């Protein structure tokens, strides 16, 4: 990580975040139930679909497209559509001379986003697993991996294929199946 990257550290658990907003969202986990109730009362925007609450209208609108799947961002080179500006920006790199501009200094592997490279370094080179499962003692390198584990192992959530009678424990495995078997 470059020395210019500013880090924001939690005073309670010492975890670091690349943005002040990330640190602020994280701070919520350290509040008592009573404090959480007070904070939630200040959240003005409630998602119509899942009742998740947001204090900032912009965060609320970004969240809404996860339900509506509106694709209002278009690639001007190939016409592919996206729900959010961020993934469109990553996609646009595929049309550039350098589609994977983030390189791991340790092994040279290239990534499309800085976040992907940081996750790679954390899990592959540092072998750091600092995300606890909420149901068992198992630890994971990313929250996404923990959620996948929680859903498939503890909650037994299955993802059925819409074309055949197979089902999968993880969405990623269903996507691979759809791409390979039902293109």
- Counting residues of the chain whose pLDDT is more than 70, the rounded percentage is 92
**Does residue 78 sit within a domain?**
no
Most confident of 1-5, 22-26, 40-44, 96-100: 96-100
Same domain for 114 and 144:
no
Domain end point (choices 128, 143, 166) = 128
Domain that holds residue 157: 131-181
Output the domain CATH number for residue 149. 3.30.160
Residue 115 lies in a domain: yes
Evaluate whether residue 89 is within a structural domain.
no
Do 27 and 16 form a contact (C-beta atoms < 8 A)?
no
Structural domain count of the chain = 2
Same domain, 137 and 122: no
The answer on pLDDT for 172 being more than 50 is yes
């Amino acid at each position: 990580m470059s020395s210019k990257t500013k880090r924001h550290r939690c005073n309670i658990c010492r975890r670091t975040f690349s943005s002040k907003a990330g640190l602020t969202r994280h701070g919520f986990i350290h509040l008592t139930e009573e404090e959480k109730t007070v904070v939630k009362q200040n959240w003005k925007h409630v998602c119509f679909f899942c009742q998740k609450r947001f204090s900032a209208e912009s965060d609320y609108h970004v969240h809404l497209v996860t339900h509506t799947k509106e694709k209002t961002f278009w690639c001007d080179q190939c016409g592919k559509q996206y729900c959010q500006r961020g993934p469109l920006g990553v996609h646009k790199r595929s049309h550039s001379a350098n589609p994977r501009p983030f390189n791991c200094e340790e092994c040279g592997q290239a990534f499309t986003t800085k976040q992907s490279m940081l996750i790679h370094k954390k899990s592959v080179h540092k072998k750091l697993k600092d995300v606890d499962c909420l149901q068992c003692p198992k630890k994971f390198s990313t929250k996404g991996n923990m959620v996948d584990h929680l859903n498939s192992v503890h909650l037994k959530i299955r993802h059925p294929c819409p074309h055949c009678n197979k089902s999968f424990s993880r969405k990623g495995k269903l996507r691979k199946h759809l791409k390979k078997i039902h293109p």
